[in-house]
Amino acid sequence: MTSFTTETPRNPGTAAPPALAHHLIGGSWAGEPSVERRNPARLDQIAALSPAGTAADADTAVAAAVRAQPAWASLPAPARGAILIKAASLLEERAEGIATDLVREEGKTLAEASGEVRRATDVLRFFGSLGWAASGEVLPSSLPGTTVTTRREPLGVFALITPWNFPLAIPAWKAAPALVAGNAVVLKPAELTPLSATHLARALHDAGLPAGVFNVVHGKGRVVGEALARDGRVAGLSFTGSTAVGLHLNGILDARRARVQLEMGGKNAVLVLDDAAPQAAAAVVAAGAFGLTGQACTATSRVYVTPGVRGEFVDALVHQAAAYAPGDGLDGARMGAVVSEAQLRQDAAAVRGAVERGARLLTGTDDGEPSRGGLFFLPTVLADVDADDPVVTDEIFGPVVVVLEVPDYEAGLASVNASRYGLTAGICTDSLALATDFAERAQAGVVKVNRPTSGLDLNVPFGGIKDSSTNTFREQGRTAIEFYTWGKTVYLGV
């Protein structure tokens, strides 16, 4: 096996040698790590080197998965689960190094990265333990001497295409249910974050997962991802990323009637009502908007506020935003770096455009230039824009939130729902009646009352409606197993 992290002289004079990522194909580490990934908080440092995978690599990985899957599926489910649980322990033992690699390649804070490693660990344990859980029902039959049972069967080989913002947790929460259900997997992680996925692969490999059951192929989405989506041996694809790419992949998978699960964009709103405590509501919005540098599909990016609380709420939000000073996640920064120069420019352009159209910049910036040697963007609050301004309608994926006034609850609810997206929605209120009404009528897959729009437990179903998700199969929790299995009804006559 090729060594996974090898010190090289590529970062002379720093404490951060680039780590090397490899493909894992058919149980062997492969590929020449040649693609540089710079640390977004320290652009002079190379955080990672990874191989540029090809369509041929994808083909080899799928072939390995096809070969390995039947034997894996025939193992008792508790034995499959035990390997996931062992991999969880390995991630836990290696947590510090993995979290450090995650900060260097993605830019988030060490606290966020450590939390993500814990999440991946818990996810593997949760789904590993489901190896012991019943997966079907016993139903009465109208026929004498007959029992009906239902079973869930694995589909075969799944492709997973994942983004850079949760580069360890998302691969873990897609792979774990797929694997415990008896499928084999080929993962194509985001180009910007090859290390985290490789750490997951290494934990599964070292835990004794049979060769070929879990494969990783690094490389470009257009090359490796596209090849996986088009491969007729791939029974299904779970994707998290942009709406444009997701809808493109949907077409490919639909055309060959393969199963597809898409988690895409969001433009998540919080409605703040007069009866909300302004400081508490501001804390809810700030955590949702600026946590994870705003780089979460569940991030808060729109706030609708009623007139009675508007002034105090906005003052509190601007005040609290100042606490999210961006910096190197390894130096204790409260907010991390923006993932790439392209994303930094996109954040700045969104703010600049809104200001040019008359928006008021209450705090923050429209400066998209690297500063202090890294890609940093200030937490930004905008106000006084039209409801159909692009800053209100389009996903930015940065620490930018726009505040709009609405006359009352009904107008606020209508504004929350006036979006092509429907992932998460929040309300800050003391009114049980309005919170309950909002929970019923908000058009979003996840509703939060007095809690940030981002952040979900691992045991709850996650997904959205409209252009946020395929809105068929949910991820996470026990429900996640459904996507990776098909249902069979068995009549047993004796």
Catalytic residues: 297
Measured between alpha carbons, how far is 266 from 421 in angstroms, rounded to an integer?
5
Q: Is the separation of the CB atoms in 421 and 265 below 8 Å?
A: yes
Residue 51, interface with ligand ADP (CB under 6 A)?
no
Q: Which is nearer to ligand ADP, 60 or 162 (CB)?
A: 162
How many whole angstroms separate alpha carbon 451 and alpha carbon 315?
Answer: 19
From the CB of 163, what's the least distance to ligand ADP, in Å?
4
Q: Which is nearer to ligand ADP, 229 or 447 (CB)?
A: 229
Q: Are strands 19-20 and 42-50 parallel, antiparallel or unpaired?
A: parallel
Nearer to ligand ADP, 122 or 191 (CB): 191
Rounded-to-5 percentages of helix, strand, coil across the chain? 40, 20, 35
Closest listed residue to residue 428, CA positions, set 311, 317, 270: 270
Q: Tell me the backbone φ, ψ of residue 231, rounded to 5 degrees.
A: -75, 120
Indicate whether 389 belongs to the interface with ligand ADP (CB under 6 A).
Answer: no
Pick between residue 249 and residue 444 the one whose CB is nearest to ligand ADP.
Answer: 249
In whole angstroms, how far apart are CA 67 and each of 25, 26, 59, 141, 181? 12, 9, 12, 38, 17
Q: How far is the CB of 382 from ligand ADP (least distance, A)?
A: 22
DSSP letter, residue 384: S
Size of the site for ligand ADP (CB under 6 A): 16
Q: Which is nearer to ligand ADP, 314 or 391 (CB)?
A: 391
Q: Which of 1, 10, 137, 222 binds ligand ADP (CB under 6 A)?
A: 222
Residues present in the chain in total: 494
Q: Which is nearer to ligand ADP, 196 or 429 (CB)?
A: 196
226 binds ligand ADP (CB under 6 A): yes
Binding-site string for ligand ADP from residue 125 to residue 154, where x marks contact by CB under 6 A and - marks none: ------------------------------
Give the CA-trace dihedral at 189, 193, 194, 198, to 10 degrees. -80
Closest separation in Å from C-beta 260 to ligand ADP: 12
Pick out residues in 339-368 that bind ligand ADP (CB under 6 A).
none
Distance from C-alpha of 176 to C-alpha of 243, rounded to nearest angstrom: 24
Among 242, 279, 393, 431, binds ligand ADP (CB under 6 A): 242
Q: Residue of minimal CB distance from ligand ADP?
A: 221
Q: Which of 156, 167, 241, 326 binds ligand ADP (CB under 6 A)?
A: 241
Count of CA atoms in the C-beta half-sphere (13 A) of 484: 28
Tell me which residue of 44, 47, 41, 51 sits closest to 18, measured CA to CA: 47
Least distance in angstroms from the C-beta of 161 to ligand ADP = 5
Least separation in angstroms between CB 78 and ligand ADP? 32
Helical (H) or strand (E) element with 313: helix 307-321
Q: How far apart are CA 14 and CA 328, in angstroms?
A: 14
CB of 38 vs ligand ADP, minimal distance in Å: 16
Q: Which of 18, 194, 221, 379 binds ligand ADP (CB under 6 A)?
A: 221
Segment interacting with ligand ADP (CB under 6 A) among 17-25, 161-169, 399-407, 471-479? 161-169
Q: Does 423 bind ligand ADP (CB under 6 A)?
A: no
Binds ligand ADP by CB under 6 A, chosen from 25, 99, 113, 161? 161
Instruction: Name the minimum Å distance from CB 492 to ligand ADP.
Output: 43
Q: For strand 465-466 and strand 421-422, is the pairing parallel, antiparallel, or unpaired?
A: antiparallel
Give bridge partners of residue 187 from the DSSP assignment.
Answer: 160, 216
> What six digits make up the tokens of 291?
């946590």
Positions in the binding site for ligand ADP (CB under 6 A):
161-163, 188, 190-191, 221-222, 225-226, 229, 241-242, 245, 248-249
